[in-house]
Amino acid sequence: MVLADLGRRINSAVADVSKANVVDESVISGLLKEICNALLESDVNVKLVSRLRNKLKATIDAQDKPGVNKKKLIQKAVFDELCDLVDCHQSEIFKPKKKQTNVVMFVGLQGAGKTTSCTKLAVYYQRRGFKVGLVCADTFRAGAFDQLKQNATKSKIPYYGSYTETDPVKVAFDGVEKFKKEKFEIIIVDTSGRHRQEAELFEEMVQIGEAVKPNQTIMVLDASIGQAAEAQSKAFKESSNFGAIILTKLDGHAKGGGAISAVAATETPIAFIGTGEHVHDLETFSPRQFISKLLG
Ligand code: GDP
């Protein structure tokens, strides 16, 4: 089920409660069942769904006292629990500082939207007065440097890369050093997405991380990736210990639940969401705003 349908289905389950003459155990149990089925069909991890169900039931039971408007209570409890699902309660999201060098390393699978998101983030900070540079450390995929160069040129962002150097660690290091010398404030390092063997990719992330010592590492995750998101995100977490996530392609027909589960599994906040292919299609993420929008 795509995200928009998930929102509609949860809304309609809550509306059914509002329409009921008496909100008894069977109405509440029907609501819980419908919400859980909708979440499962959207690829949200079964353990998370079960936890949400228990918490939701416990909140409703605990707060259901004489004089309390039960329908309102249920509405609020559903909203709060959905927020909790996408909120890992870590407010420590990277805040780059002016007049300092902030190195930001991007990791993620090929096709997730890394190169696109690198440019989006560069533009985001450039518009806020930072001096931003982009480094292409993807020497694996032919055309990766050209893609970054094209995006960067269009957005007037200085860039660094190499057509001849095959060692991504060296390119990353040289690029960061160059921009550091030129007093750039944010240096964004784009990395490779896939290798012949995954182990090699994760080893490469460790090495690039050691070479450029990022102040922040961001994992780019495709919202439509499904259940596979969790294992991949955990592997990236181990190799690069990313501290923030950019969830991409939320404008499309993403189920979203797999990615949401991955976010919960890595206990890492979503910093931004990608809402289109255009360079300005990047929004800061707020759990409450996201759920409000989901529920329309
Ligand atoms: P990379 O391999 O991870 O560097 O991925 P790219 O940046 O090359 O993106 C892969 C494809 O996804 C491209 O066609 C992008 O235009 C597209 N893309 C990236 N972010 C978004 C997004 O937020 N929304 C949509 N609709 N497309 C996106």
Q: What is the pLDDT of residues 28-46, one digit of tens each?
A: 999 999 999 999 999 999 9
Looking at every residue in the chain, the average pLDDT score rounds to 92
What is the pLDDT at residue 228? 84
Could you give the angle at the alpha carbon of 83 between the alpha carbons of 91 and 74, nearest 5°? 145
**How far is Cα 153 from Cα 82, in angstroms, rounded to an integer?**
40
Distance 84 CA to ligand 1 centre (A): 27
Distance 103 CA to ligand 1 centre (A): 22
What digits encode the pLDDT tens for the residues 175-202?
999 999 999 999 999 999 876 568 889 9
State ipTM. Answer: 0.99
Query: CB within 6 Å of ligand 1 — which residues?
Result: 108, 110-116, 193, 220, 248-249, 251-252, 274-277, 281
Q: How confident is the model at residue 229 (pLDDT cuts 50, 70, 90)?
A: confident
> CB of 70 within 8 A of CB of 61?
no
What digits encode the pLDDT tens for the residues 50-64?
999 999 999 999 988
Nearest to 112 by CA among 296, 293, 262, 284: 262
